[in-house]
Structures are given as C-alpha cells and as structure tokens.
A = this chain, B = another copy of it.
Amino acid sequence: ALAAPALAQSQPEVTWQLSSGYPKLLDTIYGASETFADTVRELTDGKFDIKVFPAGEIVDTSDGLDAVQEGKIEIASTASNYFWEKDPAFAFGTGVPFGLNQRMMNSWLYEGGGLELLNGFYKKFNIIGFPSGNTGAQMGGWFRREINSLDDLQGLKFRIGGFGGTIIEKIGVQPVDLPPERIYGALENGTIDAAEFVGPYDDDRLGLNRVAKYYYYPGWWEGGVTLMNLVNLDKWNALPKSYQAAIRSASAQANATMIARYDSLNPPTLRQLVQFGTVLRPYSHDIMLACFNAAEETYKELASDNADFKALLDSYMSYRRDAYLWFQLSEYAQDAFLMLQQRAGRL
C-alpha cells in the first residue's frame, strides 16, 4: 500500500531487486531467475525491470527471507526450506523428504490448495510466494565406498542440505552442512565421507565424481525440489494488476523452464559420468524404509506443537496418498514398459 500513489499509472517504470539463493555457477537454478526477469521485462515493454543478483552479492542465501521481509530487496528466489529452522512449515514451499514429485508438487501448489495455504503462512513474514522452478528428483549422493546396509551408514559423515539432515541423523548418519564450493575439498581430504548436492549436471560442475566413485539414488529427501520467488507483500500489493500478472506468469514460465533444462542436461551428463567410471547404485529397500519411518516420525513430532506445520502436512500428505494411487496406473505402467525397452536397447 505504501507505494500505491506512485504506481497509479497503468505502466509505470518500476525497478526491483531479486537476490538468488544460488551462485551463477548453478546456471540452471540461477538461470531460471534470469529467465523470470527477462520475461517480466518483455511482458511490460521493459517498464518493470527486475535486477537479478547472485547469492552473496547484495544478500547472503541465509539472509534471503529477512531481506525480503524488511523490504531490503523485493524478491528472494530461493528454496523456502532454507528457513525451516525459523519455522519448520517453511519446508513445504520446497517439499519434504518422501514427499511429492515434481508434477505432484505443481498440482498440489496450483490446484490442490497448497499455494494458498502456504501463502497464508508466508503472510506472517510479510511475504507472498510463487513457484519459480523445480529440479525434479535429486540424486542420493556420492560415496567413496559402497553402502549395502544400515550398518554401513553408522557414524558416516554426510554432507546433506537442510531438512533431510535431521531425518537421516535418526538412522545414525552424521549430517554435515557445507556450502557447495567446499564440498569437493572436504570429500577429497576425508573431512566428510560422502556428499549429496543436486543431480548429474550440477554435481558434475562441482567435480564430485573425481573424489567419490559410487553415485546413489534416489535422493529421497529431495524428490521434487521446488524453488520459490518470495516477494515482499507490501511491494506486491502496490503493483498495478498487470505487473502482478506478469510476476505470476513469468514465475510459472520459469518453473516450467527449469525442470525442462534439468531434464535436457542431466541425461547426457549421466551418460558421460558413467563412461568415466562413476558407478550407479540404488539405496537398498531396508535403508529406504528406515529413512521413511524416520521421516514419518519427524513429521508427527513437528506437527504436535506447530499448527501451521500440521495444516500444511495434512494437505500435502493427503495429496501424496491420492497421487500415488493414480500414478501407479497409466503413468507408471507406460514409463516402466519404456524403461524395459530402454534397457533392452530397443529405444
């Protein structure tokens, strides 16, 4: 409401600042913010100009939420779950371990009431959020030796981002938090035993394949990671309707573009990694099940004394229940059949 008078004309000149939670090195995630800002400019004849900054240049990743809340910047383009220690309900803006995949996440957010519920929560922080990207299911990390059982994981020092760490700790892993640029060195010198980051394309850029041989899947703690444009609510309210529409549409377009880029870039990188010696390994079913149980337990604990977390959990998990009923029919049957043909060299 503050800036409303200045914006009374229908196409005023507006300049905003967006801070990405990521470095330029991650051209898929950082690049989606550039796509977003470019689209907003195109939609408004260049009148609504959103300047994009990489993490750390004007705001550090960990300060993204505060900076938007206080109006220091207008948008933080980031993972909502980075702020889960402030309130675990933030996790649902990104998705939680053993949660919704990319497509289900979009469905829940756009049509299942998820985004509405989430924005009810974000409002407490003077923020409104728009899904602005998705990495898809991430990989399960790089290990220097094979992990065949739960015993092999005991005391293992594992670099893992955010919320997943609290869950994997319950089965005996020692989670370590490290920024991307320090993962390679820590894995090389043995400060950590294993590390997860994103998927083939991003992991390859960090060179992780050169310091660990075994590449595990799935990254059950990040099965459909959503990125969000977190926008200062006062600034949002002061925008002309057409500029609000531009943010909404350009965010949706960035959301679609990011996953399309990952799905284009990951397969050839995966092929190359395997060619140069990376060995792919699935987590065993008993490891998966122990982690699943630890996750369910964690959710119950958090929901017991946090009404926002509980409301989001109930909505998200009832969506998961129905979605996995539906997806096991046509989607799964068609995919599974074609994967068999792929393995048989018939595609």
Contact = CB atoms under 8 A, between A and B. Distances in A.
Q: Which of A200, A246, A282, A337 has the most CB of B within 10 A?
A: A337
Given A111-B257, A219-B330, A255-B256, A103 B104 contact: no
A17 interface: no
A305 interface: no
Given A44-B242, A347-B324, A112 B199 contact: no
B106 A256 contact: yes
B245 A252 contact: no
A43 to B, nearest CB: 5
A257 B266 CA distance: 25
A57 interface: no
A326 B325 CA distance: 23
Interface in A179-228: 199-200, 217-220, 223
Interface size on A, as a range, is 35 or more
Interface stretch (A145-153, A169-177, A267-275): A267-275
Given A263-B103, A264-B111, A327 B339 contact: yes
A10 B42 CA distance: 12
A115 B330 CA distance: 25
Nearest to A112: B264
Interface string A223-266: 10000000000000000111001101110110111011101101
14 contacts: A39-B249, A45-B242, A103-B103, A107-B261, A111-B261, A137-B334, A200-B326, A218-B331, A263-B326, A270-B325, A320-B347, A321-B342, A324-B335, A332-B336
Given A11-B45, A98-B334, A249-B250, 7 more contacts: A103-B136, A106-B260, A107-B259, A137-B331, A137-B334, A218-B333, A218-B337
